[in-house]
Amino acid sequence: MSTPAGLRPPLVRCVAVAEGTEDVIVAVAALGIIVLPLSEVVLRRLFNTGVPGSASFTQHLTMVVGLMGAAVAAREGKLLSLATGALLPAGRARNVAAIGAALVGALVAVVLAVAGGRLLQVHYESGKTIALGVPVWAADLAFPVAFALIALRLVWRSASSPLGRLVAALGIVAGIGLASAPEQIAGMAWWPGIAILIGAAMLGMPIFALLGGSAVLLFLVQGDSAANAVIGGYDQLTSNDLPAIPLFTLTGLLLAEGQASARLIRVFRAVFGWAPGGTAVVATTLCAFFTVFTGGSGVTILALGGVLLPALLAEGYRERFSIGLLTASGSIGLLFPPCLPLILYGIVAGVAIGDLFIGGLLPGLLMLGVLAALGIREGIVAGSRRTPFEAREAALALWGAKWELLMPVVIVGSLAGGATTVQSSALVAFSAIIVQRYIHRDLPTAAELVRVFRDAISLAGGVLIILAVAVGLTTYLIDAEVPAALVDWTRSHVQSRAMFLLGLNVFLLLVGCVMDIFSAIVVVVPLIVPIAAAFGVNPVHLGIIFVANLELGYLTPPVGLNLFLASYRFKKPVWEIARATLPMLGVLAVAVLLITYVPWLTTGVIDFLNRE
């Protein structure tokens, strides 16, 4: 909990109760998106019936989880932002930047809260229902409530002094004024406002405020309602496959919070420890396993770095190599099913998620393989210790980690058996709860389980709120025919498919340097898809190219996200982390080029299955 310091005791208690209630509400909503899909499956299999409105309720609960999860993330200071703010020196400069970023962010959040209220009003007047007579406006309440809470929390966290918070609170006042009289900026030039938003984002303002603020500004300047910035967000947050994102995130955090990493380390060491570089292969494979569920959010480095670094050092690996390997491995796994970026890409680009899962298998193995090969080479050169293979130890390790190892089998098996992505994600999340809470008892109390739910929801909320507001910006750009203009420009300046792909590699690498993968997918994919189609690039291949390139972005200096997370985890300067990851960045870049220019790696398995 993040109870504000310096408040009078009665107010402290009220805040604590309010935050506790908020945690319970979002946890219950998250539990609902687990229970409803599973109940639907069980009832249809056993009784040939179902839960009335199950899919619709699940989708609207996901919307509530996403928006309120973002409010929780704001409370904890975990909303996604550009890493550039961390480059400012600690002290007065960073403090002033934080206040300025919060002021602009609060302004945007207030305008979005009012726009969300307008959306609620529209649904209330239309009488639209979710199912069983439950009105849609009841779920719409999450829009104004979440954005209002975010505005307040941005202000509160902006500074420790009352004066700093008072200055940041001017953003709330300005937001109320703008929402009350939006016509005051109609017809004005849009570029000064966009420049202010970009500047605030560089100073640390959350990414959702940059995207949502840009959408609001562009609509208001042309005389339209700010509600246009959230109407599309409602449709996107209630899309069919979206519940899989918070559910797989929950699964990943449940595994990371318990002793699953220790059990899996034992398995991989027993199986691979005898080989040269076996421990490095173990570290890379284990990181990939966790990243599959956490989606490259940084949880892998933070959760496993403290365990795997001592293990590598104890086996004789150099410290610089070990840190570089773990930093690079923090994003390996993004191409394996059911990784969240693949799901989000499928939703945004309108590509079958099952095809993306299949298409990512060989490219994912290639990227994992080249990094493991680097580890094997280091193991041979450094003369690292090996663990002799013992059948009994391998069997015991496999048995001890059987539940974790079965989770990918559950996912693939359920999808092959006809389950939807949401049903499969609900099944594996439910399995993770049972295993971690009742079988292994890694989470011994209900309070611990609620805490993990809260962390997972805040992590997913930080992603979903970006999705909600970026749709408005995408809508504006499409209405302004920006994608069509980009297609025309590219066709006139780029003469071949190969040159287009090379340019795409460079562009996505730059995007990945400054944006997290989820923001990049939501913002850039709608612009890139029509251009790629003009050059005949297979949409599944494009998705794999996109995600593979953004994996590199996590490692690219000076602002790759994993560099900062590793700096925090291993207590090393960012420049030292960047230097350690250069060899890994090089071999992964070669793998990305192979993925880009050898489409068969992505489409070969799909084509084979289609022929069968």
Mean pLDDT of each 10-residue bin along the chain, 612 residues long = 56 77 84 91 82 90 93 90 68 89 96 94 92 92 95 94 94 94 88 94 91 93 88 88 89 83 84 83 88 72 81 87 90 86 90 92 94 91 78 92 88 83 91 91 86 87 89 85 85 87 88 78 88 92 93 77 81 87 93 95 87 68
What pLDDT sits at residue 61?
Answer: 94
Neighbours of 54 (CB within 10 A): 19
Both structure tokens of 465: 């709120």
Q: Which uninterrupted H or E stretch holds 539?
A: helix 539-553
Residue 340 has which token pair?
């969240």
pLDDT at 59: 93
**What pLDDT shows up at residue 8?**
59
Cβ-defined contacts of 135-140 (< 8 Å, 24+) = 136/60, 139/60, 139/61, 139/63, 139/64, 140/116, 140/234
Q: Provide Rg for the chain, Cα atoms.
A: 24
**Rounded Cα distance, 596 and 509, in Å:** 13
The distance from CA 128 to its chain's CA centroid, rounded to whole angstroms, is 31
pLDDT tens by residue, 104-128: 999 999 999 999 999 999 999 999 9
How far apart are the C-alpha atoms of 584 and 582, rounded to whole Å? 5
Beta strands in 60-172 (DSSP E): 129-131, 134-135
Chain centre distance of CA 134? 30
Using left for φ > 0, alpha for ψ between -120 and 50, and beta otherwise, residue 91 falls in: left
pLDDT at 1: 44
3 secondary structure, DSSP code: P
Peptide bond into 338 cis (omega under 30): yes
- pLDDT value at residue 273: 78
Give the single-character DSSP code of 89: P
Q: What is the pLDDT of residue 86?
A: 60
For residue 135, the number of C-alpha atoms closer than 13 Å in the C-beta half-sphere is 12
Could you tell me the pTM of the whole model? 0.85
Instruction: Copy the structure tokens of residue 564.
Output: 């900062």
